[in-house]
Structure 1
Amino acid sequence: MPGDQTLPAERLKAFADAVVAIAMTLLILPLMESVGDAAADGLATIEWLNENAGQLFSFALSFLLIANFWLTHHRLFAGIHRVTAGLLWLTIAWMFTIVWLPIATALLGQLEEDAGQKVLYIGTLAMTSLVMLLIRLYVLRHPALHDIPRPRLRSGLVADVVMLALFLLALAVAVLFPAVGYWAMFLLLLVAPLHRLLVRQE
């Protein structure tokens, strides 16, 4: 796609939707394998649930996070009708972070908790938020590609910045205070109130 040439956005939207659906499906594969192992070992259902509590939690958490990322992406791209090479590659970068998350999730559910695991998992989430922020900035600067009202784009930018900042803060807390660990992710509950506060002050 040379120069400023644009293409219809529909194929990119469909591609992104398919990639997200596959990534969400991949999250369950480690648990599927553990069911076979449990059957071979003669474990009862409650024993399997106890043995895989960590994996079940990481699966549910990552599933919800990917769903939230997809909703954000879907709402933005609903108003985008044309794509440039720049927007195409930014979206591919966003999809890369989504596809990587099942690997980070598997490490979270199966390995002993350590700083590297936290950097990989929460860092991946922060990277997804960063790329979403870059996508929205690109869209804001290329009004010919969309019909999204500028105030709505600016509000979305504020939400992206808040989410990225809270992911980075959660990462710092999780690494610096091992006893807190992944509970630091509850800082993400502050996204909505902080977004409302910042938008109100504009």
Structure 2
Amino acid sequence: MTQPATDDETPIDDATRPPLSAERLKAFVDAVVAIAMTLLILPLLENVAEFAREHKGALDYVQQEGDQLFSFGLSFLIIAVFWMNHHRVFDRVEKVTNALVWLQVGWMFTIVWLPVATAMLGSMGNDATQKALYIGALLLSSLLMLVTRLYLRRHPDLHRIPPASLRRGIIAEVVMSALFAVALVVAVLLPDIGYAAMFLLLLSGPAQALIARVWRTREHRDAGRARTR
């Protein structure tokens, strides 16, 4: 979108606009994540008041609201992990472009959506749509971070991330996205397994190590061929 001309009548568009400081974006992301994590607790607070009116004890609450407590803990942990992952990337990002800002807006949308999906998980009966909305949001979040890392790889002037670290991050995001996709398919097609399909994420570490090993082997082979030429 072209902006109004400046004093010298030279229009400013997105292609020529200089990069922005990353600090305000980092602060905004931190605030959004904190609010999303806080919102997770609201359904539990409402139920506490209801149990109090019915003169039920804490044990009754824990027994009857076990699903909501589990979904709260799961989503809280997931958002915390996603935020730490995001923080590790942007800790060394110094400038952001409009494209990078919009990628983070999309990522924040997936985080803000999780409290809604979590409330469904804890209070509604399990169905395919609910699983798609919950695990699908996790998949989309991981994909957006993958695209973010790829974008940063193509724009080294925006950050101080070592190439090797960026490469490892890309491998991690590819593995996580693939596992989320498999978990989504399994959860939807096999209702009896349901959200237990997310235990596939335990394969993330071994899969990342395997891919990294293959990548290093290929790089060493290519370097050896280059030296013999």
TM-score by length of structure 2 reads 0.87
| Deviation for aligned residue 1:2 | 2.8
Match of 1:140 among 149, 153, 163: 153
> 2-side partners of 1:116 and 1:96: how far apart?
19
Map Cα deviations across residues 7-37 of structure 1 (whole Å, 9 max, x no partner): 1100100100110000000000000000000
* Aligned positions of 1:72-151 closer than 5 A: 72-151=85-164
Indicate the structure with greater helix content: 1
Match of 1:19 among 32, 35, 52: 32
> Which has more radius of gyration?
2
* Aligned positions of 1:1-202 closer than 5 A: 2-4=14-16, 5-202=18-215
SS class of match (1:178)? coil
| Deviation for aligned residue 1:149 | 1.0
Compute the RMSD of aligned alpha carbons. Answer: 0.9
> 2-side partners of 1:3 and 1:19: how far apart?
28
| Deviation for aligned residue 1:48 | 0.5
| Deviation for aligned residue 1:150 | 1.1
| Deviation for aligned residue 1:176 | 1.0
**Percent of paired sites with the same residue:** 56
Quick one: which amino acid aligns to residue 14 of structure 2?
P
Name the count of aligned residue pairs: 202
TM-score by length of structure 1 reads 0.98
Map Cα deviations across residues 127-167 of structure 1 (whole Å, 9 max, x no partner): 10011111111111101000111111111001001000000
